[in-house]
Every structure is written in structure tokens, then in C-alpha cells.
Structure 1
Amino acid sequence: MRTGLRRLVPLFGLVLVAACGLQSGGAVPLPVGPGSIRPVPELDGVAITVGSKDFSEQNILGYLIEFAMVAAGADVRDLTNIQGSNSLRDAQLHGQIDIAYDYTGTGWINYLGNETPVPDEVGQFEAVREADLAAHGMVWTAMAPMNNTYALVTSRRTAQETGVATLSDYAKLIETDPAAAATCVGTEFNVRQDGYPGMARKYGIDTGKVRKQIVQDALVYQATADAGQCRFGSVAATDGRIPALDLVLLRDDRAFFPKYNAALVMRSDFAEANPQVATIMASISARLTNETITELNRQVDVDGREPAEVARDWMVAEGFVTAG
């Protein structure tokens, strides 16, 4: 277990978010100075609380916001590493978090209750932006190219042996040789309609033939790379363990999986009072490609580095900030 810079927000503090509220957060873990992001007079001393969910990518994204806002002169509080999407969302709706990165698919399906995703990335972003503003007064802006969608992977060896490159190929393999398509899936992916059940319907997979094991998400990657009990596995597409273990993403050739592009989310009152925030963050979001965020995730999940250090080093390398 990594210790040090990373904090764990207790679950019980989030369950009672409406009644008790979260604590005000901690200090930004590492110092930064201005780079291409210069001090903004309108943000000087403005209190901004930044949140994130409790996994590596989200912690990195949260720290990117924090370092940008510090360089701009804001008084930033760190409330990253909140357990679960719903807890982060509740904290934002109740005003305990001002800004966070979230995912367009999560907004459309989990927060707004839609069942059918919009297939186009920009279309999905625009749909959730309009609907969430109208329903909850939440502003979505500065969408990044990175798309942390669900996916299936296999080892390079299995891909070569079976010739499976797409989800249609995978479905055919289940039909002809179920044992050769043994699959490990995470607990949520196993039951979510944007996970295995929906994918099986879309690709005509006979679930009665599937040799499937339900395991913890973190165990899927190595188990699939070993190609023993799992020859295929469910993953998040931008996870750093995919390239580290030489796993191969299967192409979603029928465009089933929703788009999960990261975008900045703020309450409308905060966004209207501080329009400079979206302008600053747009240039950062624009550089967050799948390749970029996957590499940053790899440094945390494979190399064991702290998310705050990884985020600050990238911000410095890109010229956005300087190391304090």
C-alpha cells in the first residue's frame, strides 16, 4: 500500500454529506509556481475546493486542477480521493466541492439516468452538458480527448493464437470454442448495462456459453496477461497496466461502449463567478490524450509513484507551472 501524499476520505463522512458535510479539505500536497499559467487577478485568493474519485487516474486529474489553480493565484483546498462517483457528485451538488473532472458517460447514464449512450464523443458531451445544466445547474466544459471507456483486452500471445482483434471476433470464439474465450470480469462490469450484459446483447453472445469468472478489477490485468484462468478480461481503456503488461485492446467494432471522456464539472454559480477557471483548464484538457493519461496512470499503478508527483511533473514538463 502506498502512503504519504495520498489521503483516504472516510466513507462515513460521505454517507452523511447532506447532514454533516465534508471537512474543508487539506492543503495542496506539493508547491508550484506560475509557468504559462500566470496569476489571474480575478482569482487571487479565491477559495476553490477540488475533488476527485478514489482511483489513480482521478487523483491525477484532481491534482492537475489544483496545481493550475495555485499557479493562477487561487486559495486551493484538496479534497481528492473521495470514494465513488455518487459521493463525489453529492459533494458537488451540496457545494462542498467546487470543481472536479468527471466522465461524460457517467454523467449521462449514472447521474442523469439515461439508458442509451450517444455514440459520438462530442455529441455525448453536448448532450450531458445541456441536460445536466437544465436539471441540476451543473456546468460541463473543457472536454479532453481521453476516453476512459470500458473495454476487453487479451494478451498479445492469445490475440496471435486466436486471431481475435474485435469484439465480434470474441463473440465468434465463444460460439465456436467457449473454453478458448475464458473471461475474467470485474464485479461492476459483470452487472452494469454498459458492461457485460449490454455488450452480450449487442454482439449476440450466448451468455450460457461464456466461461466467465468474476474477480476484483485490479486482478483482471495480470490474470489476463498470464493467459491462464483468463484469456480475456474487462478493463478501463486508459489503465497504465495495459501497455505495461503488453495487453491488446479489442476493438469495439459495433460501437457499444459509451464514451467516457473526461471533462471539467462545476456548479453554475461557481462557473459564472469564476469564468477564468474554464479558460485556464481548457488548455490542459486539450493535451490529455489517451496516450498521455495512460502513461501517467502507468507511473502510479506500475512504478508506484504518488499521483501528486506524477501530476506536477507533467505540468512542469508541459510548461504550465514551475516546481515551487
Structure 2
Amino acid sequence: MFRRSLAAVASAGLILLTGCAGDELADDPAAEEDTGATAGGPVSISGQSFPEAALVTEMYVALLEDAGYSPSVNLVDTRDVYMQQFPGDIDLVPEYVGGLVDYLNRDGEESLTTPDAEETIENAQPLLEEQGIALLEPSEATDTNAFFVTQEYAEENDLSTLSDLEGMTVTLAAAPDCEGRPDCAGGLEDVYGIDVEKILPLGFASQQTYQSVIDGESQLGLTATTDGTLESQGLVLLEDDQDIQPAQNLVPAVSTEFLDTNTDLPTILEPLMAALTTEKLTELNGRVAVDREQPADVARDFLVEEGLLEE
């Protein structure tokens, strides 16, 4: 089920009532146009331009084209950029639950995010409605911050979870904004009791971050749970066993105004959300990042394999 405001539900109900007015009305193209309900047409998509987001966007595009829509896509560097036009000029964004909610609540006094996607969405529902954004059903697949070490370092220190690092001193290779954040260095120190002696601002899942850990300059590096490149580099994730990461489940975010007149979107995109898992997404990311396959090809292969698209 998808979530939207009472006004959106009322609008959808009006569409259904109008559609049942009689055979003459149903057969009248002008009358059908008056209901505001559409099946297909232009849809503007934006989002972030990192490889996973590009891959999921290609899935959206393939499914929407198959349903008769004409998608236009503009991926950008950061959420700050596309949120200036969403909702509005942008109709649809492949999003992450916690990231979007944290952005919308950036001036809030209390956090709305939790490790549970449904709870986070429920907490944020008044804010989402105020902003004119509807979230469809989120996926089981989640992409949160994660921390990795070399396989050798994990074996030497008997590490499998972040709790295993308690009391140890490490250098962390991470994004520049990691310091003090509860889902990054702050959480490692305050929740896990890890002594983060130094943070090297080498980037999120960047080649420089990987290499710093591989070379032993850093013991710990920052990436995502769906990083498909780790195994090929001799790197392993440590489990976030005390849940410092908010829910970052994949979720389609839609302008409520656009959803009101394109009520078939959930039937197009929610089966994709149901088919994706974190493990599958990690494998697909690896095909793009390691095997250098094109995102559009990987996306179509997955959709066909899952029975969501015909060959």
C-alpha cells in the first residue's frame, strides 16, 4: 500500500466514482479526460548520480516506459539540488527512507528516523503531507552506512561486528562530514566505545578510502551495505550490531499532485520494491562497479529475471 494525504485519497475516490458513472461516460474520451486520471504521459525523474541510484533509476525508466510513460531523467550530485524542484518540476525520485526524512526534518528539534522503515515513515507522515510528497511501499533492500576492514585485519583481531572493536584505537577513512555524526564517527565512539583517533576525509566508498584501508594507513573505512566491490578487494563489512544506522530502505518518492492523476504508479513500482533485497542489490551493484556492465543492461536483466518485464 502507498501513503498519501487524505486529500489524495479523496481525489482517488472521486476518480473511481466518476469512472463508474455509466457506459456512456466511460466511452466518452472527453469525459475520461475530465477525471484527471491518466495512464502514461511525461514523468520527470531526478535523484543522486552515484552508481546504485543510476541503476535503480534505470529500473524505474524501463517499467514506466513499458506502462506507456515517457520518462525524462536528470541525476545530480546531491539531494540538496533536486529537492529544490521536488515536488514541482520533478515528479518522482528513487529515494532512501532515512535520507529523505532527515533532509525534510533538518530544522526539527527531534530526529524522526529509526532503524525501522515503517516507524520512520509513520513519524514523518505529517511532514511528508505538508511537503506534498507521498512514499510508496518501501523495499526490503536497504543501503545504510557501513564500515569495513581488510579480511586480514578482521582475522587477526577476531572481528565480525563493530562491537568487537570496543576499546580499540583506529584511524577512519570516511566522508568529510563523518565527524560527530551519530551514524558515523559519533556513533562509533559514543555507542560502540571505539577510539577514533583520526578521521581521514577521503570520501564515501571512494577509491582513496579503499586504498587507505588496504595499505594500512586506516584500519576502518566508510562505505554502504550494498557495496559490491568489497570481496574483490579483500575487504569485509563489520555488522552494525547495535543499530546506529537509521532505516535507509529504497522507496519511490512521488509528488502527491502527480500521484493523484497517475494512480497506477504503485502497481508499476511497488512490485519492483518487493523484488529487491539488499543481497540482490549488492550483486547488481557489483555487476556495474566491478564487471563494468551498463546500468541499463543490468536493470533490464533483473526486471526480466523477476518477471516484471518481458524480454
Q: Same fold (TM over 0.5)?
A: yes
Amino acid at match of 1:145: E
> Cα offset for 1:135?
2.4
C-alpha distance in 2 between matches for 1:64 and 1:148: 17
Q: Say if 2:128 and 2:134, in contact at 8 Å, map to a contact too.
A: yes
Amino acid at match of 2:115: P
SS at match of 2:186: helix
Q: Which residue of 1 aligns with 2:203?
A: 216
Aligned residue pairs total 270
In structure 2, do the counterparts of structure 1 residues 75 and 212 end up closer, same or farther at CA, with 3 Å as the change threshold? closer
Question: Percent same amino acid among aligned pairs?
Answer: 26
SS at match of 2:288: helix
Q: Which residue of 2 aligns with 1:76?
A: 71
SS at match of 1:145: coil
C-alpha distance in 1 between matches for 2:220 and 2:85: 36
Q: Which residue of 1 aligns with 2:44?
A: 49
TM-score (norm 2): 0.80
C-alpha distance in 2 between matches for 1:212 and 1:45: 49
Q: Say if 1:63 and 1:308, in contact at 8 Å, map to a contact too.
A: yes
Q: Which residue of 2 aligns with 1:111?
A: 104
Asked if 1:122 is matched to 2:118, the reply is yes
Q: Which residue of 1 aligns with 2:80?
A: 86
* Matching of residues 161-310 of structure 1 within 5 Å: 161-174=156-169, 181-190=170-179, 192-207=181-196, 210-217=197-204, 218=206, 219-224=208-213, 226-310=214-298
Q: Which residue of 2 aligns with 1:144?
A: 139
Amino acid at match of 1:153: F
Unaligned 5+ runs, structure 1: 1-41, 175-180
Amino acid at match of 1:154: V
Tell me which moved more, 273-282 or 214-223.
214-223
Q: Say if 1:132 and 1:139, in contact at 8 Å, map to a contact too.
A: no
2:128 to 133, 139, 145: 133
If you compute each CA radius of gyration, which structure gives the higher value, 1 or 2? 2
Unaligned 5+ runs, structure 2: 1-36
Deviations 1:226-246 (A, max 9, x none): 252122211111121123324
> Cα offset for 1:106?
0.8
Q: Say if 2:145 and 2:223, in contact at 8 Å, map to a contact too.
A: yes
C-alpha distance in 2 between matches for 1:311 and 1:190: 35
C-alpha distance in 1 between matches for 2:156 and 2:104: 41
TM-score (norm 1): 0.77
Moved runs in structure 1, 4+ residues, more than 6 A?
none
Give the alignment's Cα RMSD to 1 decimal. Answer: 2.0
SS at match of 1:122: helix
Amino acid at match of 1:234: L
SS at match of 2:86: helix
1:102 to 95, 101, 104: 95
